[in-house]
Chain A
Amino acid sequence: MNEYIAHAGAADQLRVWHPFVSPLDPCPPIAEKTFIIPPNVTMPWQPPGLPQFSPYEALKLGTLWPAYYSPYETTPK
């Protein structure tokens, strides 16, 4: 469940944008940039009765509720 949530959440919360690229930019362009919309933005009021992680999973991930888990993995920017 843990892994599933991690991957589903990561994709759902990621937003991609493409900055303007100038031929005069000094560094090789990074064509794609991303940022995260955490679940507190899309669901700013927690509905009651949400499914819960086990206590050990909750401690490991930093929240009791899978719906509010926001994974972060280092990505080259």
Chain B
Amino acid sequence: MERAPVFSFRGVVYSYGGSCSPALSGVDLEIMPGEWVALLGANGSGKSTLAKICNALLLPAQGDCFVLGMDVSAPENIPLIRQSVALVFQNPEDQIVASIVEEDVAFGPENLRLPQAEIRRRVDAALELTGLADMKRRGSYTLSGGQKQRLALAGALALEPRALVLDESTSMLDPEGRASFLERIGELNTHGMTMIQITHRMDEIFFASRVVVLQSGRVAWDGESSDFWDGPYLSFDFEEPPELALYRELKARGFVPSGTIPRVDDLLESLWL
């Protein structure tokens, strides 16, 4: 049986008022269930606009966008789309609504008008998943940057979404916070959650199964992440992550077999073997 895409963009165009060039100028893209897509591109390439369309925060000026088969332009679909696709933004401070951790996580389910017992179940589950269960009665303003971003993730997960869109969600985190955050979302993807991860950090692409590069509002490259390293990334002026440089060097000297996805763990494993 053929699986239906989670996101389907067909010739999507979007322009911000006052801007001479469109943010998106004809995006065609399909994202299937369980995929982890790294969305790359320079500033102004349309990544965040695309993310907002995924959640029906912006509506395409032209073309169609379907989320789980629902047209984002149909107002009656918006509540279900927002429930199905959760967004986590760059700055957690901009997403935390309540002063108490559990109250903030409950914000989404409360908007869905769920019964109290169901809200409690979702809040506890989201806090457990994000490792914040011990902090549920703490003031959100007392959390560290990494914990705040995990709180933002918990708030998104409490909606029990089918897909998660991360808009540069790790850019304000320290290496430890970033590793912990990526570990959590990795677990979610393992359990079938569809991911769109907008990032400028090349080393984070190692976690993704697919890479999409946006350039001037169009899809400039789309393919598997392992193929991305074989050359396309060089044509987009992306900075080479140290892991990739190490991989190339080791591969040139015959220490690692060709075709290995250059993840740090894989590299270390190859070296020890």
Q: Are A and B a genuine interacting pair, yes or no?
A: no
Q: Which residues in B have some Cβ–Cβ distance to A below 8 Å?
A: none
Q: Which residues in A have some Cβ–Cβ distance to B below 8 Å?
A: none
